Amino acid sequence: MTDAPPPRRATIEDVAARAGVSRAAVSKVLRDAYGVSDAMRQRVTAAMTELNYRPSIAARAMRGRTYTIGIELPDLSNQFFTRIVRGATAALDGTPYQLILAPAEPGSGYGYRALEALVDRQVDGLVAVSPRVDEDALERIAASVPLVMFGRLDRTERYDVVAGDDIAGGRLAMEHLFALGHTRIAHLTLRDEDPDAPFPHSGRLREYLAAMTEAGLEPEIWPLSDAEDPSYDAARRAIEGGTRATALFAAHDELAFGAMRAIAEAGADISVIGYDDVALSSHPAFSLTSVDQPGERMGARAVELLLERVAGRTEAVHEVFPVELKVRASTRPPRA
Amino acid sequence: MTDAPPPRRATIEDVAARAGVSRAAVSKVLRDAYGVSDAMRQRVTAAMTELNYRPSIAARAMRGRTYTIGIELPDLSNQFFTRIVRGATAALDGTPYQLILAPAEPGSGYGYRALEALVDRQVDGLVAVSPRVDEDALERIAASVPLVMFGRLDRTERYDVVAGDDIAGGRLAMEHLFALGHTRIAHLTLRDEDPDAPFPHSGRLREYLAAMTEAGLEPEIWPLSDAEDPSYDAARRAIEGGTRATALFAAHDELAFGAMRAIAEAGADISVIGYDDVALSSHPAFSLTSVDQPGERMGARAVELLLERVAGRTEAVHEVFPVELKVRASTRPPRA
DNA sequence: GTGAAAGCGCTAACAG
DNA sequence: CTGTTAGCGCTTTCAC
């Protein structure tokens, strides 16, 4: 019926030739710019379809937008992050933006390479999910691309922040355990976590320490090892070491699952509370009490903020989302 | 000490100026091309560091490589896919390539938009993880970028294939259940799954049907609904509908978890076997018998094949990975 | 309403 | 061994 499309990818030039107009005209149709007659729009659109034309993102990137939003993710195996992505995907639905994810490399300072890779690829907006990167570096990045920090409570005017209320969450968890009558409560968190750092786990750790101290109790930290299954291993060591803890506050649900494995194997009686309320936490096999963060809403909000920035907003927005305790069977009064 | 770096991103031009050489010279150093003196390399490298130079991927894309490998992923909440990504990441470690992920959009034909988005972004290689896209479309894509199909046993010469042996896996699962004495065995799979399609679940379904038929038994399919938790809902309906099944073969572990939730809630006695052996399957809370696919090795292999293609290989490679049954407590003989 | 032309940052062919 | 040059496909003035 029509000429076969060229073997190489059609360019704006090909479309222009086929529609009998100039390249600029095609570009205008493409960008919905001002000053195109209906007739021309028709012809150009038809030509695009016939040639199966798709604009080159690279060429566009040289001049302006890439229509790409990037998310740097620290840990694919933590299901909380899939909640974020789900929300972000939903928020982008119907917009011309495409989402791409870059997994953080492991190790200290992780996330930096992924963030740089995304910047190099000229994403129009960037969500950094609690990377272990200093604020200076982030501010530098934010100077060249709209940035939303997810999870960290950085106090900066250079980029937006979307985070859960880790202080309130930590407090909820501890009050719940206290209310059940626990006094020997351990906390499972990253090794060498600094309670004063801006990371999500820092806030939870800080609240744990504060709550224990206020109650006149002795804190007991179970630090993650670098074994293959760090949370399992940390719990196993603690149990083998003869811990007297009757309850464990895990910094997030995946860590709680690992600890529960060790607890189950040892036949120990230790209540466990997690954080994030991932999908499996409500599964009867776990029935894990957890502090729920609205991951989907937070992910969606992060993307909205980015689009606002792209549209011109310049003042920073910092939003803290409320958390909610989900009580389940994994926490119960101490035995005896 | 030295001039402050320009506020805009440094370009190859800036580096050349600072090092007192030509752009071409810088480009050569960058690409490790032939014909650069050691002294020059020194100066150029120093200039790059001082200016904090990073090559523009977009500009490179206009001429050649992007040093980017893309993976289209169907479902972030299925932990098997994180095994693939882990393997791919490891295989790319130490190479100049960066991994980016694009989640498939939900719905039928899913994966297509994500694949196109990755092609538009000119990835140097593309891993398609069992998308619901026809071979024609994939061959078209493969014409413009090295493509590895993951999971699907497509019989094509246009792209490479890395897949698990779903036939053997399905057989292993069924033989295990038969050996335990089960005869009323249900299969939990996608709604309207076609046993003759090239999708991973198709092969498992086909084996299920074949095994049941060979044994003179009546197949019983539990199709996923489109409820919020489809596998849970499917199992709940089957149980409420008075199924007499004593065992369930779930097309993958996440589906198995959902079904186990319904089974636990109903207090039913149904053995469950899954597929993929994700990390949580061995957790004592589940102890899920599962057919293990070597996801990490497969993901790493997919990336290796891509790099081989980038390096010039043209003949297609099809690799089928062996699977292995992991027997755990979730499968036991039928009661009575 | 439409088109011509410049240029984004890079690579590769070629000339010195 | 080093430098010059011609584009890659697009957006964006600025004339017509």
The pLDDT score that the predictor gives to residue B208 is 98
Residue ranges for chain A with pLDDT beneath 70: 1-7, 108, 336
Q: Is the CB of B52 under 7 A from strand C?
A: no
Residues A184 and A142 in one domain: no
The answer on pLDDT for B106 being more than 90 is no
B25 in any annotated domain: yes
Predicted confidence (pLDDT) at residue B76 exceeds the cutoff of 60 = yes
Question: Measured in angstroms, what separates residue A62's CA from nucleotide C16's C1'?
Answer: 32
Which of A51, A72, A75, A77 to probe by mutation at the B interface, max B CB count within 10 Å? A77
- Of the candidates A131, A143, A209, the one whose C-alpha atom is nearest the C-alpha of residue A170 is A209
Q: Phi then psi for A60, rounded to 5 degrees?
A: -65, -40
Asked whether strand D has any atom less than 7 Å from the CB of B33, the reply is no
Tell whether B178 is covered by a domain.
yes
Is B207 found in the same domain as B100? no
Does residue A58 approach strand C to less than 7 Å at its CB?
Answer: no
CATH code at position A20:
1.10.260.40
Nucleotide nearest to B65 (CA to C1'): C11
CA atoms of A101 and B70, how far apart (whole Å): 10
Q: Which residues of chain A have a CB within 8 Å of the CB of B286?
A: 285
Co-location of B158 and B298 in the same domain? yes
Distance, angstroms, CA B183 to C1' C9? 67
Is A190 in the same domain as A133? no
Residue B4 placed within a domain: no
Q: Do residue B272 and residue B299 come from a single domain?
A: no
Q: Which residues of B touch A122 (CB under 8 A)?
A: 56-58
DSSP state of B242: T
Q: Which of A255, A274, A293 is the last residue of a domain?
A: A293
Same-domain check for residues B177 and B138: no
Q: How far apart are CA B300 and CA B312, in angstroms?
A: 19
**pLDDT band, very low/low/confident/very high, at B22 (cuts 50, 70, 90):** confident
B103 → closest Cβ in A77, A99, A120: A99
Q: Is residue B201 in some structural domain?
A: yes
pTM score:
0.94
Q: Which of residues 30-89 of A touch strand D (CB under 7 A)?
A: 30-31, 33, 55-56, 59-60, 62-64
Q: Note whether residue B247 is domain-resident.
A: yes
Sheet containing strand B185-189, strands side by side: B220-223, B185-189, B247-250, B271-276, B289-292, B324-326
Q: Say if residue B89's pLDDT is above 60.
A: yes
Best residue of A280, A282, A287 to probe chain B, by most B CBs closer than 10 Å: A280
Average pLDDT over residues B272-289: 98
Q: Report the distance separating Cα A222 and Cα A219, nearest Å.
A: 10
Average pLDDT score over chain B: 93
Domain membership flag for residue A6: no
- State how far the Cα of B139 lies from the Cα of B147, in Å rounded to an integer: 9
Q: Looking at the structure, do residues A194 and A305 belong to the same domain, yes or no? A: no
pLDDT at A122: 95
Residues in chain A with CB shorter than 8 Å from the CB of B228 are none
Least confident segment among A90-94, B31-35, B158-162, B188-192: B31-35
Shortest distance between the Cα of A102 and any Cα of chain B, in A, equals 5
User: Could you check: is the Cβ of residue A120 within 7 Å of any atom of nucleic acid strand C?
Assistant: no
Q: Which residues of B touch A98 (CB under 8 A)?
A: 102, 117, 120-121
Provide Rg for chain A, Cα atoms.
Answer: 25
**Whether the Cβ atoms of residue A84 and residue A129 lie closer than 8 Å to each other:** yes
Number of domains in chain A: 3
Task: Yes or no: say if B98 and A117 are a contact pair by the CB < 8 Å rule.
Answer: yes
d(CA A302, CA A68): 14
Question: For position B139, what pLDDT does the model report?
Answer: 95
Q: Within this chain, do residues A183 and A257 fall inside the same structural domain, yes or no?
A: yes
Q: Is residue A181 helix, strand or coil?
A: coil
Q: State how far the alpha carbon of B54 is from the alpha carbons of A100, A280, B7, in Å.
A: 20, 42, 14
My answer on whether A38 and A122 are in the same domain is no
- Same domain as B306, residue B199: no
Residue A155 lies in a domain: yes
| Closest residue to A261, CB basis, from B56, B101, B284 | B284
Size of interface A-B (CB pairs under 8 A): 120
Same domain, B151 and B101: yes
Task: Work out if A8's Cβ lies within 7 angstroms of strand D.
Answer: yes
Give the mean model confidence (pLDDT) for residues B321-332.
Answer: 98
Q: Using an 8 Å Cβ cutoff, are A54 and B120 in contact?
A: yes
Predicted confidence (pLDDT) at residue B2 exceeds the cutoff of 70: no
Instruction: Grade residue B198 by pLDDT with cuts at 50, 70 and 90.
Output: very high
| Best-predicted range by mean pLDDT (A51-60, A109-118, B98-107, B160-169) | B160-169
Cβ contact, residue pair B103, A89, below 8 Å: yes
Of B239 and A22, the one with more pLDDT: B239
Cβ atoms within 10 A of the Cβ of B104, count?
24
For position A219, which CATH number holds?
3.40.50.2300
Contacts of B284 in chain A (CB under 8 A): 261, 264-265
pLDDT the model gives residue A334: 97
Inside any domain, residue A61: no
Residue with the larger pLDDT of the pair A54 and B3? A54
Which positions in chain B have a beta carbon within 8 angstroms of at least one beta carbon in chain A?
A: 9, 54-59, 61-62, 66, 68, 76-77, 79, 82, 85-86, 89, 98-103, 105, 116-117, 120-122, 143-144, 257, 260-261, 264-265, 279-280, 283-286
Q: Which two tokens stand for residue A307?
A: 């689009």
Per-residue pLDDT band at B108 (split at 50, 70, 90): low
Would you say residue B5 has pLDDT above 70? no
Print the domain residue range for B196: 166-293
**Is A260 in the same domain as A148?**
no
> Does residue B231 have a pLDDT over 80?
yes
